[in-house]
Structure 1
Amino acid sequence: MTEAFEEHRNLLFAVAYRMLGSAADAEDAVQDAWLRWSSADRSDVSDPRAYLVRITTNVALDRLRSAKARRETYVGPWLPEPMLTSPDVAEEAELSESVSMAMLVVLETLSPLERAVFVLREVFGYPYAEIAEALDRSEASVRQLGTRARKHVEARRPRFEAGGAQRRRATERFLEAVVGGDVNRLLEALAPDVALWTDGGGKVRAARRVIHGADKVGRWIAGIMGKPYQGVDPADMRMRRVDLNGEPALVVDGPDRPLSTITLDFDDQGLVRAIHVVANPDKLRALAVGRRLPM
């Protein structure tokens, strides 16, 4: 029983994380799945993998429905919890796309059922018949949910052909502009319609609304450069490049903890079209302990 569960634990976490956008919630969902698995009558279970994915998906659905209500009262923009990934994941376009910060933000706009169908079908390639059985829905209704979800995602998440190497170079240019305090160089790196999301969760200083436009975003970044943050003096901060959610990203560290993460989304010209800053300390715990996202 334990061996069967542990064999599929990474898959279950990967499904739950894409469903919930939170490492902590995904781990809780996997733990709930374990409790249900360990207490269930498994005598007629011929495919433990399918059975466990079904349990985890439904647990995540229940958690997502309650999370939706909580996020409506969240202070400022809500962003997913960033997680470390291996550098080579960025070269696998489909895989890295499915956990990118920009994609997870788009998935937040789907209904819980649409999100479940999209994740199982588009990310993990499950047949509609299996998804219908897992969700206790008709195959026709699941197909309809899948079509609606895919169209919604495609309309809000344009696909660009910038490869991992190009994204890394663009990330380095952005980093150099920020560290160097060169506002003009920073503006040159931003797309005209760039959007800046900052998630402090009401616990640390952050913008309460999404900021749009290169000029406003540039001025916001320039306004915080060289100033203390979360009680840490700029001289005690350092910025490093890592891979988060399948993409090159930046982490701002204090002396004893990460202060924020910065993930960038680029257009086909290599300009930054979206910046996602996560500074809510509750969402930096996985990063602080170096936990990696199983893909």
Structure 2
Amino acid sequence: MAELTEFETHRRRLWAVAYRITGSVADADDAVQETWLRWQALPEGEATDPRAYLTTVVSRICYDQLGSARSRRETYVGPWLPEPVVARSPAPGSPEDRVTLDESVGMAMLTVLERLTPAERTAFILHDVFAVPFPEIAEVVGRTPDSVRQLASRGRRRVREQAPRRSVDRGEHRRAVDAFLAAVMGGDLDGLLEILDPEVVYRADSGGKVKGAARLPVVGGEKVARFALRLMRGFDPRTMSLTVRDVNGAPGLLFRDPAGGLAGVFAFTLDGDDGRIVGIDVVLNPDKLRHLDLDTV
């Protein structure tokens, strides 16, 4: 049986690979667990390069998951967003608990990756994010190394075309989120219009399970601002909270309504030129928040 300590050395990387390929915390957890079971069954010394072997195994499991996931998402009610990873904001320079803080794990980027084919997504993530050689990726997707090179190139091109411009630094991102929070809590329409880009897009993922959630994107600074203020009319500070938390490695917001059994996670995308908010992605589907311990984050 292969060594447990060797597997634990690579667990963090395996989860990071799995989450980026699937966009699902639950699927990533399942993939890492299945990889562990296969590792346990492997005779000791069978894998000459454990890191490469484990990365190939977890990637293949996730690649297989993508096919069924795409068919489920075709019938999904409303916009589909990735399952968020939420944590208390870390001290500057400290490692985040489960996700490496980079552009590849942001909600906006993960949403763009949904538009790639499973093979393009897997090849792009493994090569461009984790520097896995093409021959090893070929084993994952069942293609030739040259074909995988083309898959990664197509994925890279589509990401460049569709991904938002690189976000601002963490401090400026936090200031924008604070300004948004202050404006919505204060009912300040002008303050919202100042921090929102005129072409901002608001998307809510409720899976059709939350009454009143927008099933179509809301587009435009004034429309989004007025929509946000309408939502806040039902906010009761005695029983509800809206607090700044790290969402996929960047400052976002966590909404909690214990009495009503509701929760929501807000992720923000900012324009790298003027620091305005160009995207607000809100996950409300309770199935996608099940992994969160709302009492501790």
TM-score by length of 2: 0.89
Contact kept? 1:45, 1:51, Cα under 8 Å: yes
Q: Which amino acid aligns with 2:251?
A: P
| Residue in 2 that maps onto 1:194 | 200
Is 1:96 matched with 2:102?
yes
User: RMSD of the alignment, in Å?
Assistant: 2.3
Separation in 1, partners of 2:65, 2:256: 31
Deviation digits for residues 109-152 of structure 1 (CA, Å, limit 9, x no counterpart): 11111111111111111222322234332111011001100010
Equivalent residue number for residue 247 of structure 2: 244
Segments of 4+ moved more than 6 angstroms: 89-92
Say if 2:138 and 2:144, in contact at 8 Å, map to a contact too: yes
Q: What one-letter code is carried by the residue in structure 2 that aligns with 1:240?
A: T
Match of 2:23 among 17, 21, 24: 21
Distance 1:89 1:252, change over 3 A: farther
Which residue does 1:49 correspond to in 2? 51
Quote how far apart the aligned CAs of 1:291 are: 8.8
Counterpart of 1:171 in 2: which secondary structure? helix
Q: Matched residue pairs, number? A: 287
Match of 1:225 among 216, 228, 232: 232
Residue type at the aligned position of 1:264:
F
| Residues 90 and 103 of structure 1: CA distance in aligned 2, closer, same or farther (over 3 Å) | farther
CA gap 1:70/1:148 in 2 versus in 1, 3 angstroms: same
Q: Rate the CA distance shift 1:10–1:71 in 2: closer, same or farther, 3 A.
A: same
Whose RCO is larger (CA < 8 A, sep 6+)? 1
More off after superposition, 243-252 vs 281-290: 281-290
1:265-284 matched pairs, under 5 angstroms: 265-267=269-271, 268-284=273-289
Contact 1:84 1:287 in 2 (8 A): yes
| CA 211–90 in structure 1, closer or farther in 2 if over 3 Å, else same | farther
User: Residue 163 of structure 2 corresponds to which residue in structure 1?
Assistant: 157
- Could you tell me how far apart the structure 1 residues matched to 2:208 and 2:94 are? 32
What is the rounded CA distance, in whole Å, between the counterparts of 1:193 and 1:103 in structure 2? Answer: 18
Match of 1:138 among 144, 156, 159: 144
Q: Match for residue 213 of structure 1?
A: 220
Which one-letter code corresponds to 1:167 in the other structure?
H
Task: Indicate the SS of the match to 2:292.
Answer: helix
- Per-residue CA deviations over 1:247-286 (Å, capped at 9, x if unaligned) read 1101112237761111110112111100001111111123
Q: Which amino acid aligns with 1:127?
A: P
- In structure 1, the gaps of 5 or more residues are none
1:235 alignment partner, SS class: coil
Cα gap change, 1:29 to 1:91, in 2 (>3 Å): closer
Contact between 2:63 and 2:141, CA under 8 Å: does it hold in 1? no
**Worse-matched range after superposition: 121-130 or 65-74:** 121-130
Query: C-alpha separation between the residues in 2 aligned to 1:181 and 1:219?
Result: 10
What is the TM-score with the length of structure 1 in the denominator?
Answer: 0.90
Aligned residues of 1:191 and 1:273 also touching (Cα < 8 A): yes
Contact 2:240 2:256 in 1 (8 A): yes
Counterpart CA distance in 1 for 2:280 and 2:225 is: 11
Q: What is the identity, as a one-letter code, of the residue corresponding to 2:201?
A: A
Which of 119, 125, 134 is the matching residue for 1:113? 119
Task: Report how far residue 197 of structure 1 moved.
Answer: 0.6
The residue type equivalent to 1:278 in the other structure is V
> Which sits farther off after the overlay, 124-133 or 260-269?
124-133
Change (3 A) 1:291 1:51: farther
Identity of aligned residues (%): 47
- List per-residue Cα deviations over 1:12-66 (Å, max 9, x = no partner): 1111100111111111111122222223456532011111111110100111110
Match of 2:83 among 62, 81, 91: 81
Aligned equivalents of 1:235 and 1:253: distance in 2?
11
Q: What one-letter code is carried by the residue in structure 1 that aligns with 2:178?
A: E
Q: Which has the higher helix share?
A: 1
In structure 2, relative to structure 1, the CA distance for the partners of 1:213 and 1:255 (3 Å cut) is: same
Unaligned runs of 5+ in 2: none
